[in-house]
Amino acid sequence: MDGLAVLSIASEIYPLVKTGGLADVAGALPLALAQENVAVSTLVPGYAAVLDGLEKAEPVARFKDLFGAPARILRGNSGALDLFALDAPHLYLRPGGPYLGPDGLDHADNAQRFAALARAGAALSQGLADGFAPDVVHAHDWQAGLTAAYLRFSGRRSPACVLTIHNLAFQGLFPSGLLAPLGLPEASLVTEGLEYYGQISFLKSGVNYSDAITTVSPTYAQEILEPDQGMGFDGLLRSRGDVLFGIRNGIDTRVWDPASDPLVTKHYSLRTIKARAENTRALRKKMGLPEIDGALLLGVVSRLSSQKGLDLVLDCLPLFEPLNLQLALLGSGDPALEHAFAAAASESPDRIAARFGYAEDLAHMIQAGADMLLVPSRFEPCGLTQLCALRYGAVPLTSRVGGLADTIIDANDMALSAGCATGLQFEPVAAGALAAALRKAAGLFADPPLWRQIQLNGMKCDVSWTQPAKTYANLFRNLAA
* Residues found near ligand GLC in the complex (CB under 6 A): 20-22, 25, 166-167, 216, 249, 380-384, 403
Least CB distance to ligand ADP at residue 306 (A)? 12
What letter does residue 334 receive in the DSSP assignment? -
Out of ligand ADP, ligand GLC, none, what residue 358 binds, judged by CB under 5 to 8 A for its kind, is ligand ADP
Look at residue 302 and give the partner it binds from ligand GLC, ligand ADP, none, a contact being a CB closer than 5 to 8 Å depending on partner kind: ligand ADP
* CB distance 303 to 403 below 8 Å: no
Of 172 and 331, CB closest to ligand ADP? 331
CB of 412 to ligand GLC, least distance (A): 24
Q: What residue is closest to ligand ADP based on CB?
A: 21
Q: Which H or E run contains 34?
A: helix 21-34
Cβ at position 23, least distance to ligand GLC in Å: 8
Phi, psi of 322 (to 5 degrees): -60, -35
Closest-by-Cβ residue to ligand GLC is 21
363 binds, among ligand GLC, ligand ADP, none (CB under 5 to 8 A by kind): ligand ADP
Task: Using the CB atoms, write b or e for 245-283: b if 16+ within 10 Å.
Answer: ebbbbbbbbebbebeebeebbbbbeeeeeeebebbbebb
Task: For ligand GLC, give the closer residue by CB, 158 or 425.
Answer: 425
If contact means CB under 5 to 8 A according to the sort of partner, which of ligand GLC, ligand ADP, none does residue 330 touch? Answer: ligand ADP
Which residues form the interface with ligand ADP (CB under 6 A)?
A: 20-21, 24, 301-303, 330-332, 358-360, 363, 382-385
Query: Greatest CA span in the chain, whole angstroms?
Result: 70
Chain-centroid distance, C-alpha 218: 15
Q: Residue 425 region, left (φ>0) first, then alpha (ψ -120 to 50), else beta?
A: beta
Q: Of 169 and 277, which has the nearer Cβ to ligand GLC?
A: 169
Shorter beta-carbon distance to ligand GLC: residue 138 or 152: 138
Strand ranges (E), 21-135:
38-45, 55-63, 71-78, 81-87
Partner whose footprint covers residue 216, from ligand GLC, ligand ADP, none (CB < 5 to 8 Å by kind): ligand GLC
Q: How far is the CB of 248 from ligand GLC (least distance, A)?
A: 9
Q: Which long-range contacts (CB under 8 A, 24 or more apart) does 273-279 make?
A: 273/393, 273/452, 273/455, 273/456, 273/459, 276/368, 276/369, 276/393, 279/365, 279/368, 279/369
- Among ligand GLC, ligand ADP, none, partner that 331 touches (CB below 5 to 8 angstroms by kind): ligand ADP
Handedness of CA 272, 273, 275, 276 (dihedral sign): positive
Q: How far is the CB of 305 from ligand GLC (least distance, A)?
A: 9
Question: Which CB, 331 or 381, lies closer to ligand GLC?
Answer: 381
For ligand GLC, the closer of residues 162 and 182 by Cβ is 162
Cα-Cα-Cα-Cα dihedral sign, residues 107, 111, 116, 117: positive
3-state secondary structure of 321: helix
Q: Which is nearer to ligand GLC, 384 or 394 (CB)?
A: 384
Start-to-end CA distance of the chain, whole Å, equals 13
For ligand ADP, give the closer residue by CB, 159 or 250.
Answer: 250
State the nearest-atom distance from the C-beta of 265 to ligand ADP, in Å. 17
The Cα 381–Cα 392 span in angstroms is: 21
Q: How far is the CB of 360 from ligand ADP (least distance, A)?
A: 5
Shortest Å, Cβ 377 to ligand GLC: 8
3-state secondary structure of 122: helix
